[in-house]
């Protein structure tokens, strides 16, 4: 079995090929794990590379991870945790599956997935930590996607959520970063107010009444994206 590779690696890439890829993309201070993933002590800079997929499987990155301005359709291979920022904006992502579970584990961090093709936020990080790596600290940027719901944001912890340029923003912009935001998001999703781009008006009204909110919504804008069911 002399031809058997040492580890079961990402897409059967062997150890020497990992070294070659790291040299190609300027990745330094890395350790290869037994499963073929790599840990990086520092930053990973993969922006503007014309990538359609990530070239390696990353496990933990202590610094920032930049893979923006490519043609990525998936975050397969993205690190499980990132010490600082994670920027995947300006790609062709339709899902956040594969995103880091945690961002900002070693310093303040942000997560930026703006300017993609996202229709929901399932797979988003569980949270972005603050300067003491315990408090909620960072921004979740998701501008100019195709989000029609808040699914995927339940039970997540961010300092601010930036959703301008998405259909859902026309409905939630007045409270998306209010003091009761986390409770509001959970209840909004639980009430199933939006179904297949249809907005159930009776449920929306009940939501605003139950949460003691003023319904300050421009329904002319809402109608551009949703069928409103009375």
Instruction: Give, for all 230 residues of the chain, the pLDDT tens digit.
Output: 333 333 344 455 689 999 999 999 999 999 999 999 999 999 999 999 999 999 999 999 999 999 999 999 999 999 999 999 999 999 999 999 999 999 998 888 999 999 999 999 999 998 877 655 454 568 999 999 999 999 999 888 888 999 999 999 999 999 999 999 999 999 999 999 999 999 999 999 999 999 999 999 999 999 999 999 98
Indicate the DSSP class of residue 11: G
Verify that 161 and 188 share a domain, yes or no: no
Q: What pTM value is reported for the model? A: 0.89
The residue segments making up the domain with residue 206 are 172-230
DSSP 72-110: -S--TT--SEESS-EE--SS--S--TT--SEE-SSS---
What are φ and ψ of residue 11, in 5° steps?
50, 35
Asked if residue 135 and residue 216 are part of one domain, the reply reads: no
d(CA 18, CA 76) in angstroms, rounded, equals 16
Domain end marker among 151, 166, 181: 166
- What size, in residues, is the chain? 230
Is residue 202 assigned to a domain?
Answer: yes
Kindly state whether residues 54 and 121 are assigned to the same domain.
yes
Q: Are residues 153 and 184 in the same domain?
A: no
Q: Same domain for 123 and 186?
A: no
Number of domains within the chain: 2
Looking at the structure, do residues 158 and 182 belong to the same domain, yes or no? no
* Contact between 97 and 75 (Cβ < 8 Å): yes
Same domain for 16 and 113, yes or no, is yes
Residues 60 and 108 in one domain: yes
Residues 187 and 127 in one domain: no
Residues 152 and 229 in one domain: no
């Amino acid at each position: 079995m002399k031809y058997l590779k040492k580890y079961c690696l990402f897409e059967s890439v062997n150890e020497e090929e990992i070294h070659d890829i790291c040299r190609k993309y300027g990745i330094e201070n890395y350790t290869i794990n037994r499963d073929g993933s790599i840990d990086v002590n520092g930053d990973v800079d993969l922006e503007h590379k014309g990538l359609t997929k990530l070239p390696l499987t990353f496990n933990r990155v202590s610094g920032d991870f930049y893979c923006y301005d490519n043609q990525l359709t998936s975050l397969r291979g993205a690190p499980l945790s990132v010490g600082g920022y994670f920027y995947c904006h300006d790609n062709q992502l339709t899902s956040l599956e594969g995103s880091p579970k945690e961002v900002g584990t070693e310093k303040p961090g942000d997560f930026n997935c703006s300017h993609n093709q996202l229709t929901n936020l399932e797979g988003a990080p569980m949270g972005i930590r603050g300067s003491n790596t315990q408090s909620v600290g960072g921004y979740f940027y998701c501008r100019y996607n195709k989000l029609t719901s808040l699914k995927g944001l339940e039970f997540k912890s961010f300092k601010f959520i930036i959703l301008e340029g998405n259909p859902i923003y026309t409905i939630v912009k007045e409270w998306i970063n209010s003091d009761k935001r986390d409770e509001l998001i959970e209840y909004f999703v639980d009430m199933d107010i939006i179904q297949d781009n249809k907005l159930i008006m009776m449920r929306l009204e009940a939501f605003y009444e139950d949460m003691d909110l003023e319904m300050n919504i421009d329904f002319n804008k809402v109608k551009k994206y949703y069928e409103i069911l009375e």
